[in-house]
Amino acid sequence: MALADQPDAPQSRGRLRLPGWTWRETQGFLFILPWLFGFVVFIAGPFFFSFFVSLTEWSFIGDIKWLGLDHYIRLLSADDPRFVQAVYNTTYYVVFHVPGVLLISFIIAGLLNQKVRGIAIYRTCFYLPSITTGVATAVLWYWVLQPNGLLNNFLNIFLEPLGVSGPNWLGSTSWAMPGLIIMSFWTVGTTMIIFLAGFQGIPQHLYEAAEIDGAGWWGKVRNVTIPMMTPQIFLTSVIGVIGSFQVFTAALIITDGGPADATLFILLLLYQMGFRAFNMGYASAIAWVLFLIILFFTIVQFLSARRWVYYEGVRA
Amino acid sequence: MPWLSQVSFQAREGTTRQRTLAAYVRIVVGQTFGYAALILVAVISLLPLVWMVSTSLKAFGREFLFPPQWFPNPIVFGNYLTAFETSNLARYFGNTLMIAVLATLGTVLSSSLVAFGFARLDFFGKRVLFIILLSTLMLPGIVTLVPTFVLFRTLGWIDTPLPLIVPWWFGGGAFGGAFFVFLIRQFMLQLPRELDEAALVDGASYFRIYWRIMLPLSKPALAASAIFSFIHHWNDFLNPLIFLNSEEWRTLALYLRFFLYTEVGGGAGLTRWNLMMAASVVMLIPVLVIFFSAQRYFIRGVALTGIAGR
């Protein structure tokens, strides 16, 4: 038995410790204390306080007026057309963004997983856009998506023979959202690297076994690669859904929700309500509805995981 | 019957050769297609960035020339000088750097401390607390945006860099910070336990074990955390937008947006795209330098936490 496992090592007699705890346990608690403090002050406390605020009418200045569930009733009965629009837009974005990113990264990671020369160079190229996220990228894409910008320059090569030209991405209510979604496909690097690591972890003998059984290229992808990659697919889709429901920076900078609220995301509406109109109660209620939407989809994903995610050794 | 085995051997060899030939063709076709696809994706990944740099070196009014001019003529390096001269770009750069460095320092120190506690010590409720820690990663940070604003307002921290730094000194106590605790813990779990047990026998305290043994050994995980953290804070937009108002503490992210708005608001045709792209390049340079000098930590960090999702 190692010394560390003994209930109370002799060296620790007489030291400060929590009642009923050994010195070792007390120390363990001390190590995580910074997190516990931060968690209570910056996460848990604000979390519950925000629910309280969501039940009130409050603009920082002046009194807090108790409203009860009024904000929620207004939101859930679709009484606020802008909120309905924001939910629609966000769903639109999530529905195209998440599967798109998964599919694109899966294909790229698959290509990289072949024994190619210079894999590191390609990997760098593909990952580069992902680290340049944020405002600089948003400004860049604002420029790329101009009517005479880079994307249209490229598209017009194919469109001009047909007598049409690329759309005014950001100025059109029907093209602004596709524009933002295309932009989001530019930053698939993180997902791609998670997939690549997953691909490299698939034991080679499974492919050999499949080959002996007469599986072709597609047979191997379908029966070996995809089942073995389900943990990574699951992980990235959970992260993707949580993240994309909170899409904000690009929209705020590039379109600011426009034109005519065509790219008004839930988070953007929350920001406008809370920090431009100072309607803190309503903003908090929006935050909670968004939170519940995300929670719902996360739980659905976790429940469905039992049916399709394959964990080696154990059945999930 | 020696001849029979001879025949069957030849037959087998024949099929093998046919197979390898077919496989060879397939490999060549597959590889050509694969390389073409890879190069195409690489070009798509890099073109916007190349375009950005190229535009930042163009003369005013020549940004939208058609067909696109990839190599600017004339090359105007002066755009960068103008970008610095016509604004407080140097100051914003310094602000951003200070916030990112201090927040990163706090993240690495405090997250590794908490990670050590979770990785090596046992105490009542550890499992539950760790699950709570992980669940904060699933929680959308947006829920607490309003109350944290209220909190920092009450503390008088609005319009100071404190709200962007202080929460990160509480090991995963800030939103999204749990990621770093998780990353470092995963790494520490792989280190052999004999090391700290030997040190314990020698009478070392747990803090000493953490500081003198685990921390140096966890360097790859710490480096990955530091890089992720720095880039996160460098690129962060939402938090500075909410907590900083005045020009004094403006970060690069806020400035770029402000610049875009004043320029685009100035009327069509007057937008100085070249200066805007120059400022964007200035903002990207530190990120690129870090990325290229520490790429292996990056990739490992993503892979480590990604696989850990199993």
CATH 3.40.50.300 fits A80-308, yes or no: no
What integer pLDDT is reported at residue A289 of this predicted model? 92
Q: Which long-range contacts (CB under 8 A, 24 or more apart) does A26-31 make?
A: A26/B123, A27/B121, A27/B206, A27/B207, A28/B117, A28/B121, A28/B122, A28/B123, A28/B126, A29/B117, A29/B123, A30/B117, A31/B113, A31/B114, A31/B116, A31/B117, A31/B118, A31/B121, A31/B206, A31/B210
- Give me the phi and psi of A58, to 5 degrees please: -155, 135
Is the per-residue pLDDT at B309 higher than 70? Answer: no
| Beta carbons of A135 and B170 less than 8 Å apart | no
What integer pLDDT is reported at residue B66 of this predicted model? 63
Residues A124, B42 contacting (CB under 8 angstroms): no
What integer pLDDT is reported at residue A268 of this predicted model? 92
Shortest CB distance from B64 goes to which of A108, A148, A280?
A148
Chain A residue nearest residue B26, CA to CA: A217
What integer pLDDT is reported at residue A5 of this predicted model? 45
Mean per-residue pLDDT for A128-149? 84
Round to whole Å and give the CA distance between A72 and A78.
Answer: 10
Chain B nearest CA to A39, separation (Å): 4
Residues B215, B222 contacting (CB under 8 angstroms): yes
What integer pLDDT is reported at residue A7 of this predicted model? 47
In this prediction the pTM is 0.84
The more confident residue out of A3 and A17 is A17
Specify the amino acid at residue B139: L
Chain A residue nearest residue B45, CA to CA: A126
Is the per-residue pLDDT at A113 higher than 70? Answer: yes
Mean per-residue pLDDT for A273-295? 90
Put simply, whether A316 touches B (Cβ < 8 Å) is no
Put simply, whether A17 touches B (Cβ < 8 Å) is no
Mean pLDDT of chain A: 85
Put simply, whether B27 touches A (Cβ < 8 Å) is no
Q: What residues in A contact B158, CB-CB < 8 Å?
A: none
- H or E segment at A61? strand A61-66
Shortest CB distance from A43 goes to which of B37, B144, B241?
B144
Residues B237, B253 contacting (CB under 8 angstroms): yes
Put simply, whether A30 touches B (Cβ < 8 Å) is yes
Residue ranges in A134-215 assigned as alpha helix (H): 135-144, 150-159, 176-184, 189-200, 204-212
| ipTM value | 0.81
Residues A147, A168 contacting (CB under 8 angstroms): yes
Question: Strands A56-59 and A61-66: what pairing?
Answer: antiparallel
Chain A residue nearest residue B271, CA to CA: A143
- Strand-pairing partners, residue B305, are none
Q: How many CB pairs under 8 A join A and B?
A: 300
Question: For B241-288, what is each residue's pLDDT tens digit?
Answer: 999 988 899 999 999 888 888 877 655 556 788 888 899 999 999 988
Question: For A286-310, what is each residue's pLDDT tens digit?
Answer: 999 999 999 999 899 989 988 888 8
Question: pLDDT-derived band of residue B106, with 50, 70 and 90 as boundaries?
Answer: very high
| Beta carbons of A290 and B181 less than 8 Å apart | no
Put simply, whether B170 touches A (Cβ < 8 Å) is yes
Assess whether the previous peptide bond of B2 is cis (omega < 30° from 0): no
